[in-house]
Amino acid sequence: MSEERGTRVEDEAARLDAADELRALREEFVLDGDEDGTPVVYLDGNSLGALPRSVPARLADVVEREWGRMRIRSWTESGWWEAPERVGERVAPLVGAAAGQVVVADSTSVNVLKALVGAVRLAREDDPGRAEILVDATTFPSDGYIAESAARLTGARLRAVPAGEIAGEAGPATAAALVNHVDYRTGELHDLPGITAALHRAGARAVWDLCHSAGALPVGLDASGADFAVGCTYKYLNGGPGSPAFLYVRRDLQPRFDSPLPGWNSHSEPFAMAEGYVPAEGIARGRVGTPDILSLLALEESLKVWERVDAYGGAAMVQVREKSLALTDFFLRRVEAHVPAGRLTSVTPGEHARRGSQVSLLCADEDEAGPVMKELIARGVVGDFRHPGVLRFGFTPLYTSFADVEAAARVLGEVLRERP
């Protein structure tokens, strides 16, 4: 036990932090202690990312100058009107998409509905007999609710299938599949290129939920040939609570994309106030109504942090992925050292190819997860838990340090040893 109690592990964490190519980015975020001064190790970026330091000043300028003094002129003079596509261009390289294929607007749920109904309609243009939607059986609940609604809207039948089995289950009746890239409970990473290719071989369309992967690992939407993708921006992209989601529509599909929500903002001539709907060209047809400018521009400022990564875009995500895996490897090793045997089991895959950027630990006593997480938070280690009995720890490579990881594992061990 001397190794755990002494300085060797602390020295190892310090060496890893010193060698971290992304370590300077930590200073770009507000990671101070709680209001009472308690130091905080923040491992809940998979639910809400930390605040980039430059955002408050930018948001104050938007409110005080652009809204307060320029008022309606800001739609044109401050670029508010183009913001959904402009911010989409900042997201695009982080998910492996070329320009002109990502728009930022609306919520994740709204964008899932657009993408899934649009995917079914596309599939039926090619083969009217396709009457089935597949959905990841362990999907985030909201995605499941939306999939049920999409099935009703399109007259399709919905079938839940484990994500790992979707490739084999897709057949001649399948119109589209909605799949989570990373499982929100377990942190398991699913095979986006392989599942997409299998769906295409079956003549179906692939819709991906990137909420737990965008900003944490390479996605490669263009390289995989994905049809549609949706993701939130308040997790690893640090856009703030309720920041608008993004929608990806592959370029060659955009002329055929028939959104179930044709709003005035996606009209080809939005200010003509025409009675009939004519969709805009390109990714702008993914818009619906008036964008949430305050949240959208806060997100735009947040995304500027990525410009400080050595190589913005795909190469940056390689750096981020390497650190993510190193953080989660270190955490799993330190949990094993600190936590009493038999109290926790990792439900996150050990293999790098199947792991996202979180670690989920199942409590032997499932009822213990809530109280344990409450005590961790009281002691300055912030994660969260999900029923039944899962403690979740999210690792945001832009600001999480190896010293954070060691501290979190140590406090977790202390809490569990103190409990009967």
CATH architecture of the domain with range 81-308: 3-Layer(aba) Sandwich (3.40)
Report d(CA 293, CA 201) in Å as an integer.
41
Say what percent of the chain tops pLDDT 90: 92
Average pLDDT of the residues in 346-358? 98
**Residue 33 — very low, low, confident or very high, per pLDDT cuts 50/70/90?**
confident
Q: Which residues contact 324 (CB under 8 A, 6 or more apart)?
A: 216, 217, 357, 395, 397
- State the Cα–Cα distance between residues 305 and 176, nearest whole angstrom: 35
pLDDT recorded at residue 335: 97
Of 2-11, 310-319, 404-413, the poorest mean pLDDT is in 2-11
Whether 246 sits among the annotated catalytic residues: the reply is no
CA distances in angstroms from 409 to 69, 139, 356, 401, listed in the order given: 50, 28, 19, 13
Spot the catalytic one: 29, 184, 228, 234: 234
The structure's pTM equals 0.95
**Sign of the alpha-carbon dihedral angle for 265, 268, 270, 276:** negative
Q: Is the pLDDT of residue 127 over 80?
A: yes
Answer for the pair 209, 231: CB distance below 8 angstroms, yes or no: yes
CATH of 2-53+311-418 among 3.90.1150.10, 3.40.640.10, 3.30.1360.120, 3.40.50.970 = 3.90.1150.10
- The catalytic residue among 121, 130, 392, 410 is 392
User: Looking at residues 396-418, what average pLDDT do you find?
Assistant: 97
Segment 380-393, tens digit of pLDDT:
999 999 999 999 99
Whether the pLDDT of residue 299 is over 50: the answer is yes
Q: What is the mean pLDDT of the chain?
A: 95
Phi, psi (deg, nearest 5) at residue 189: -95, 125
The bridge status of strand 157-161 relative to strand 174-180 is: unpaired
Least confident segment among 21-35, 168-182, 267-281: 21-35
Predicted local distance difference test score (pLDDT) of residue 309: 84
Q: Is the pLDDT of residue 226 over 70?
A: yes
Q: Round the CA-based radius of gyration of the chain to a whole number and report it.
A: 22
Q: Is the pLDDT of residue 65 over 80?
A: yes
**Of 122, 148, 110, 125, which is closest to residue 263 (Cα–Cα)?**
110
Whether the predicted pLDDT of 272 surpasses 80: yes
The catalytic position among 29, 42, 140, 236 is 140
Residue 124 Cα to chain centre, angstroms:
29
The confidence score (pLDDT) of residue 315 equals 72
Q: What is the percent of the chain where pLDDT is above 70?
A: 96
| Known catalytic membership, residue 140 | yes
Mean pLDDT of 335-356: 97
Q: Which residues does residue 359 pair with via DSSP β-bridges, in sequence order?
A: 393
pLDDT at 232 over 50: yes
Q: What is the pLDDT of residue 70?
A: 98
pLDDT value at residue 8: 77
Digit-coded pLDDT (tens) for 321-344: 999 999 999 999 999 999 999 999
Which residue's entry shows tokens 């942190």?
187
Can you give the pLDDT at residue 310? Answer: 64
Catalytic residue among 121, 130, 185, 235: 235
**Whose CA is closest to 226, among 279, 177, 165?**
177
pLDDT of the residue at 5: 52
Q: Where do runs of H (alpha helix) occur along 265-339? A: 293-303, 314-338
Boundaries of every domain in the chain = 2-53+311-418, 81-308
Q: How far apart are CA 206 and CA 302, in angstroms?
A: 29
Q: Tell me, yes or no, if 205 is annotated catalytic.
A: no
Count Cβ neighbours within 10 Å for each residue of 54-82 and write b for 16 or more, e otherwise. ebeebbeebeeebbeeeeeebbeebebbe
pLDDT of 2 higher than 60: no
Q: Both tokens of residue 76? A: 């044109």
What would the mean pLDDT of 29-53 be, rounded to a whole number? Answer: 89
- Cα–Cα distance for residue pair 95/372, rounded to 1 Å: 35
Predicted confidence band at 3 (pLDDT cuts at 50, 70, 90)?
A: very low
Using CA atoms, how far apart are residues 238 and 97, in angstroms rounded to an integer? 19
Tell me how far apart the alpha carbons of residues 331 and 337 are, in angstroms, rounded to a whole number: 10
Asked whether residue 368 carries a pLDDT value surpassing 80, the answer given is: yes
- Which candidate in 209, 227, 292, 384 is catalytic? 209
Query: Is the Cβ–Cβ distance between 384 and 306 less than 8 Å?
Result: no
* Beta strands in 19-139, from DSSP E residues, in sequence order: 41-42, 102-104, 132-136
